[in-house]
Structure 1
């Protein structure tokens, strides 16, 4: 899988889907947006603090540790390729492998009313899609198109999008193929900045999307991510 991941950005570059400069500037923007969101408390509602006990006393963990503050283009350009000398993937333009947990509570409208629960959002549709594992990173394109079709929506109907950033090249390729407004995608930074806790990332981006939809009081959102091995998954949400 590491070999496939290392090859993917170079394949997208060869296919003319993006230019090297964009691949550098997009992770800078991701980091800067995440820094701003963290400093302004935008992540606080979606994080459940927990206590870590040690000899020096209790430590409250209530913020993501991976987000870097003060990231610059000049600093990112100094990093060396992570997989091979001629490669384009660095620690700056790839998501981090992080520990984390995330969850959501799903129930029918009838159960929510019965239990006095005020839903944060409604699942309008969801979809999975398979594709050649060699280009697994663009799985969100196929899955998002299927989910939008099932919801009866167009790309232009979306108010916000959370699309997992496995790599900068992968994220830019998805944005280009979907043709959605990049200004509504990962508005508080993506996985390059926040991290990629494999197994929890789907619920993480779902929570981030829902709370930002609530904050902005917007109606329609889409969450999507690629899956190692050649798949994509997407969900359309409505408030």
Structure 2
């Protein structure tokens, strides 16, 4: 759109099985003295932010686990019913063959999810935030996983000249900074800003793809924007597939474009929360088959 490129490849990779998150920042003061002065109590882990969201949006443990089970069931159904998500390249390493996503658990049950202990509780955070009921677990949070993804983004003229099959159009964008403590709620104002820029309303969007960093993030998004659940993450999300951070953006776009295409085309919104209260949203328009 800036005119700098006719075509570009965007993507990323994350090997969370080998390198822990924030490995490049361990032992360093990445924020600096001015930040420490403004926020003497410091920021909080994302899991605690997810707990605050559940508390302030009045989302129960049952609702979180029911949504998480939905993610696994929809992911399995999407693969079974011909989603592009089944087109996974088989990899062999030291005699072991990987040919499908290993995080999807279609045989999980609500009882099993409800039996998991809170993952982010600490006495310090419980004292700081007495309103938290501690209901975020490994089961209703995104999985730690490895992944890679890449997407070819081109101008319409370049696509036509080179005979490329156009899967969809990226037509509007937004980036916002939201509350640093709540941190993960930025997807809400990012979507509102995006729709305002595009001159659209919620009813004009066919599908929404909201990264499932935590179940509370998606359910708060649904509640605040008053969305029908059947328009949201219709092929499951990171709770089932995993959230290899550098690769998740490509997966979200690929999934949404495929879901729209299989439904005859339409408009979709992709949005992802980020560290420090940042969030982005993109309007996607896809063609039918």
1:24 paired residue number: 65
In the aligned structure 2, how far is the partner of 1:17 from the partner of 1:124? 34
**Structure whose alpha-carbon radius of gyration is higher:** 2
Give structure 1 regions of 4+ aligned residues with deviation exceeding 4 angstroms.
none
1:189 paired residue number: 236
2:103 corresponds to 1:66: yes
2:89 corresponds to 1:49: yes
User: Where do 1:1-239 residues align within 5 Å?
Assistant: 3-44=44-85, 47-54=87-94, 56=95, 59=97, 61-84=98-121, 87-239=134-286
For residues 171-223 of structure 1, the C-alpha deviation after alignment (integer angstroms, 9 at most, x for no partner) is 11111112222111111111111111112111110110001111111211111
TM-score by length of 2: 0.76
In the aligned structure 2, how far is the partner of 1:201 from the partner of 1:48? 15
Tell me the SS of whatever aligns to 1:119: coil
Tell me: CA distance 1:53–1:4, structure 2 relative to 1, closer, same or farther (3 Å).
Answer: closer
In the aligned structure 2, how far is the partner of 1:16 from the partner of 1:230? 17
- Gaps in structure 2 of 5+ consecutive residues: 1-21, 23-42, 123-132
For residues 46-105 of structure 1, the C-alpha deviation after alignment (integer angstroms, 9 at most, x for no partner) is x44043242x4x73x332111112111011111111122763221111001111011111
Count of residues in Structure 1 that have an aligned counterpart in Structure 2: 235
Give the root-mean-square deviation of aligned CA atoms.
2.0
Moved more, 137-146 or 18-27: 18-27
